Chain A
Amino acid sequence: MEILGLWNYWMVIVLMMVGLYILIARDNLVKKMMGLNIFQVSVIMFWVSIAKVRGGTAPIIPEGAEDVVYSNPLPHVLMLTAIVVGVATTGLGLALIVRIYEAYSSIEEDTLREMDRASE
């Protein structure tokens, strides 16, 4: 039961492996970029899931209320930063891919490698 109880980690691991697999196995640079994105998202999911407190509410304490159990807000805030970093990385990666396409007329990694070898 303990293994099933940790389903959030399983979800994270599956997503992470999917991302890494795409990153390694695909030749298309845009697909690689998407794999990298899935990989990053899995880590964001991990951070968000560890902030959850069982039975906790959103970390807003109504006036006069006492003994409110709430989830840890800090990881959420940190992940906002990580999401921004992820978006910036994706943007830069795609911009580089555009320039690669202009220079090589291809974004398939094996074709790029062949063209480099041919020009040497």
Chain B
Amino acid sequence: MTEHLPALQTVLPLMAAPICVLLRQATLVRIFSVAVAWTCLAIALTLLEMVSTDGPISYALGGWVAPLGIEYRVDLLNAYVLVLVSAIASVVMAFPLEGSELRIPRERHFLFYALLLLCISGLLGITITGDLFNIFVFLEISSLAAYALIGLGTDRRALTAGFSYLVMGTVGGTFILIGTGLVYQMTGTLNIVDLADRLPAVSGTRTVWMSFAFLVVGTSIKLAAFPLHQWLPNAYTYAPSIVTAFLSATATKVAYYVLIRVVFTIFGAAFVFERVGLSNLLLPLSLIAMAVGSLAAIYQTDIKRLLAYSSIAQIGYMTLGLSLANVDGLTGGLVHLFNHGLIKGGLFLVVACALLRVGSPTIEALSGLGRRMPLTMAAFVVGGLSLIGVPGTVGFVSKWFLVLGALDKGLYFVAFIILASSLLAVVYIWRVVEVMYFQSPSHAPVREEAPLSMLIPTWVLIGSTIYFGLDTDLTAGVANRAAQYLLGGGL
């Protein structure tokens, strides 16, 4: 039974989506989708457990052995990303649609769940597959579902945001397809492990350099790495908060995973950093992303847009970890992948709760909400502290590793920017907290807490940012081993 777990991981949500459409009945579909998401999480945790004791698992899809067939290859790195994606999926699935700002009539709920399941299936597929073309296919499955989900926002600008994401995302996906074609032309294989074997022999050719460029730019568009982030603020702002919570915690993280795969597994650190010199470009861009993202966040009047710009800065932290290319830096990047997923997912769920009581997501509308919804807003404060990187929260763990990585390379300036950008995070989080707690509300404060069914998922994510800040075995431990493995130190 356990031998088929890698296939079940993606096939389960993929099959569940049409079943949702057949079931139709809102309550039934919701229970079914939550059960599917939780099963996915159980599978991911089992896979992580299996991989961390027995080493990588290779699964030949349909019995066709790699490199001819499509291989699902689970190692420590993608098992870790699988856990993040399916954990966020299980929490977001459990978050109720009833009463949220998403005004879908009850009899249409099944379509929302079907879309979300397709998106999950695509993201899990990208992560688990060991075949470059398969990555493109799953990328498009998840992206198509994401464009439709973003278009569900109640503001009409959600539609234009979804459309411009569709255009940018398709260009990015097509770039990945070009890159895949060029490496296929040079090596005659699409299997990632096989590619890694065959590429060094031809790595001097211009074709391979071009394919590397296309793959990196394509994934960077999906990742919203500065300066390819234009689609992100509008998409995150106008999408329904539940969708934003899910996408901000998973879609960009999976793109970061693909970038790491391309850089470290397919092309290899020696080619990427010594011959191409990716750090020369990526390091300054990451620093600019951290500074500009945080600065832009300070001036936003819309809380979702504020968090979206903060995401751009946080993606800068992740790409910074990659461009440092040492064990500490990469560990920092990978830990931040997990931690930022938890933090942003949690914070956007807080926004979803707040939108129950206030009509608009502007920061002024939140005034006095600290007294109206004390538990929800406490979650925002804890999440905000994690985003800043206060010791005891997850944000501290990732920034600690990044600073170590920067100091290890003697880049004191980079370490300084990491800390300065955290100070900017204090400013934009404080702006919101001040309005929530210290400005008197426009009318008498009545305690109107969000329903328990919304508070529990929110606090699960926010609570886990504290838990993983104190117990770093699962995150930093696994990320550290994965980083060593990627940089050639063996498992």
Interface residue? B389 (CB, 8 A): no
Instruction: Collect the chain B residues with CB atoms within 8 Å of residue A116's CB.
Output: 157, 160
Nearest neighbor of A81 in chain B, beta-carbon distance? B137
Instruction: Collect the chain B residues with CB atoms within 8 Å of residue A36's CB.
Output: 167, 170-171
Report Cα–Cα, A46/B163, bound state, in Å: 26
Interface of B, secondary structure class, is helix
Could you tell me the distance in whole angstroms from the C-beta of A29 to the nearest C-beta in chain B?
7
**Interface size of B as a range:** 20 to 34
Interchain CB contact (< 8 A) of A96 among B159, B170, B177: B159
- Decide: B133 and A89 in contact? CB cutoff 8 A: no
Interface residue? A43 (CB, 8 A): yes
Instruction: Collect the chain A residues with CB atoms within 8 Å of residue B157's CB.
Output: 116
* Contact pattern, B 293-312, Cβ under 8 Å of A = 1, otherwise 0: 00000000000000000000
A48-76, CB < 8 A from B? 50, 75
Instruction: Collect the chain A residues with CB atoms within 8 Å of residue B173's CB.
Output: 85
Instruction: Collect the chain A residues with CB atoms within 8 Å of residue B170's CB.
Output: 36, 40, 89
Interface residue? A100 (CB, 8 A): yes
- Decide: B156 and A39 in contact? CB cutoff 8 A: no
A66-120, CB < 8 A from B? 75, 78, 81-82, 85, 88-89, 92-93, 96-97, 99-100, 103-104, 112, 116
- Decide: B166 and A85 in contact? CB cutoff 8 A: no
Interface of A, secondary structure class, is helix
**Interface size of A as a range:** 20 to 34
- Decide: A43 and B166 in contact? CB cutoff 8 A: no
Could you tell me the distance in whole angstroms from the C-beta of B211 to the nearest C-beta in chain A?
12
Could you tell me the distance in whole angstroms from the C-beta of A25 to the nearest C-beta in chain B?
13
- Decide: B140 and A89 in contact? CB cutoff 8 A: yes
Report Cα–Cα, A103/B161, bound state, in Å: 13
Known contacts: A85-B140, A100-B159. The answer to whether A50 contacts B151 by CB under 8 A is no
Report Cα–Cα, A89/B141, bound state, in Å: 10
Could you tell me the distance in whole angstroms from the C-beta of B418 to the nearest C-beta in chain A?
34
Interface residue? B181 (CB, 8 A): yes
- Residues of A near any B CB (own CB < 8 A): 20, 23, 29, 32, 36, 39-40, 43, 46-47, 50, 75, 78, 81-82, 85, 88-89, 92-93, 96-97, 99-100, 103-104, 112, 116
